[in-house]
Structure 1
Amino acid sequence: MNSSSISMVEKPPKSATLFVLKVSIVAALGGLLFGYDTAVIAGAIGYLQVKFNLSPAMVGWAASSAIWGCIVGAMFAGYLSDRIGRKKMLIITAFLFAASAIGSAIPNSLTQFFIARFIGGLGVGAASMLSPLYISEIAPSRIRGTLVSLYQLAIVVGINLVYFINMRIAVQNPESWNVEYGWRYMLGSETIPAVIFMALLFLVPESPRWLVKNKREKEAFTILEKVNGPEKARQVLDEIKEALSMESGTVRELFKPGFRIALVVGVVLALFSQITGINAIIYYAPEIFKSVGFATDSAFSQTIFIGVVNTLFTFVALWLIDKAGRKSLLLWGVSGMILCLFAVGICFHFQFTDGPWLLIFILGFIACFATSLGPVPWVIISEIFPTKTRGVAMSFCTVILWIGVVLITQMTPVLLENIGGAFTFWVFMVNAIILLIFTYKMIPETKQRTLEEIELSWKH
Structure 2
Amino acid sequence: MTAAEKKNDRLSSSPSQTEVELSEMPRAAGLEHKQAAGGAANERLEVSKKLANPLAGLTAEQLAAMGEDYARLAGLTSEEDVRAFRLGAIIAGDHAPYDQIPELTAREREVLQRETTHKWSNPSMLYWVVAICSLCAAVQGMDETVVNGAQIFYKQVFGIGTNRERDTWLVGLVNGAPYLCCAVIGCWITDPMNRAFGRRGTIFISCLISALACFWQAFTNTWWHMFIARFFLGFGIGPKSATTPVFAAECSPPKLRGALVMQWQMWTAFGIMIGYVADLAFYFVPDSGIELGLNWRLMMGSALLPAVVVCLLAFKCPESPRWYLSKNRHGDAFDSVCQLRFEKVQAARDLFYTYTLLQTEKQAMSIGTGNRVKELFTIRRNRNAMVASEIVMFMQQFCGVNVIAYFSSEIFVQAGYSNVSALAASLGFGVINWLFAIPAFYTIDTFGRRNLLLTTFPLMAFFMFFTGYSFWIPESSSAHIACIALGIYLFGMVYSPGEGPVPFTYSAEAYPLYIRPIGMSLATATTWLFNFILALTWPRMLVAFTPQGGFSWYAGWNIVGFFLVLFFVPETKEKTLEELDGVFDVPLRRRAAHGARQAVYFCRRYLLRQSAVDKPAPPHEESVRGVADPTAGFTKEKGASLREKVTEPPGVAQV
Length-normalised TM-score, structure 1: 0.83
Matched, 1:427 2:550: no
Q: 1:254 aligns with which of 376, 382, 393?
A: 376
What secondary structure does 1:246 align onto? helix
Matches within 5 A, 1:316-327: 316-327=439-450
How many residue pairs get matched?
458
| RMSD of aligned Cα (Å) | 3.8
Whether the aligned pair in 1 keeps the contact of 2:391 and 2:565 (CA below 8 Å) is: no
Aligned-residue offset at 1:441: 4.7
Aligned-residue offset at 1:323: 4.0
Question: Matches of 1:284 and 1:189 in 2, distance apart?
Answer: 18
Aligned-residue offset at 1:35: 1.4
Unpaired runs of 5+ residues, structure 1, are none
1:40 maps to which residue?
146
Say if 1:412 and 1:41 are closer, same or farther in 2 by CA, change over 3 A: closer
Aligned-residue offset at 1:309: 1.0
**Identity over aligned residues, as a percent?**
27
Matches within 5 A, 1:13-162: 16=122, 19-54=125-160, 56=162, 57=167, 58-81=170-193, 83-84=195-196, 85-162=198-275
What secondary structure does 1:371 align onto? coil
**CA offsets 1:185-238 (integer angstroms, 9 cap, x no match):** 323333321111112221233334444444445544555563693485144543
**CA offsets 1:24-54 (integer angstroms, 9 cap, x no match):** 3312322211211122222323433454444
Moved more, 26-35 or 213-222: 213-222
Whether the aligned pair in 1 keeps the contact of 2:204 and 2:314 (CA below 8 Å) is: yes
Aligned-residue offset at 1:294: 6.3
Question: Matches of 2:93 and 2:418 in 1, distance apart?
Answer: 53
Moved more, 394-403 or 426-435: 426-435
**CA offsets 1:401-436 (integer angstroms, 9 cap, x no match):** 122112223334454444554554443233223333
Aligned-residue offset at 1:62: 3.5
Q: 1:238 aligns with which of 331, 351, 356?
A: 356
Question: Matches of 1:204 and 1:302 in 2, distance apart?
Answer: 38
Moved more, 299-308 or 183-192: 183-192
Question: Matches of 1:447 and 1:232 in 2, distance apart?
Answer: 26
What secondary structure does 1:397 align onto? helix
Moved more, 34-43 or 247-256: 247-256
What secondary structure does 1:202 align onto? helix
**CA offsets 1:27-85 (integer angstroms, 9 cap, x no match):** 23222112111222223234334544446424444333333333344332333245323
Which residue type is aligned with residue 96 of structure 1?
Answer: I
Question: Matches of 1:218 and 1:253 in 2, distance apart?
Answer: 36
Which residue type is aligned with residue 273 of structure 2?
Answer: N
**CA offsets 1:136-186 (integer angstroms, 9 cap, x no match):** 444444333322221122222222222222322222436866943333332
Matched, 1:396 2:522: yes
Whether the aligned pair in 1 keeps the contact of 2:461 and 2:558 (CA below 8 Å) is: yes
Say if 1:65 and 1:415 are closer, same or farther in 2 by CA, change over 3 A: closer
Say if 1:136 and 1:268 are closer, same or farther in 2 by CA, change over 3 A: farther
Matched, 1:376 2:502: yes
Larger radius of gyration: 2
Question: Matches of 1:389 and 1:86 in 2, distance apart?
Answer: 20
Question: Matches of 1:236 and 1:298 in 2, distance apart?
Answer: 53
1:334 maps to which residue?
457
Question: Matches of 1:388 and 1:230 in 2, distance apart?
Answer: 25
Question: Matches of 2:575 and 2:322 in 1, distance apart?
Answer: 16
Question: Matches of 1:456 and 1:147 in 2, distance apart?
Answer: 28
Unpaired runs of 5+ residues, structure 2, are 1-52, 57-91, 96-112, 586-622, 624-655
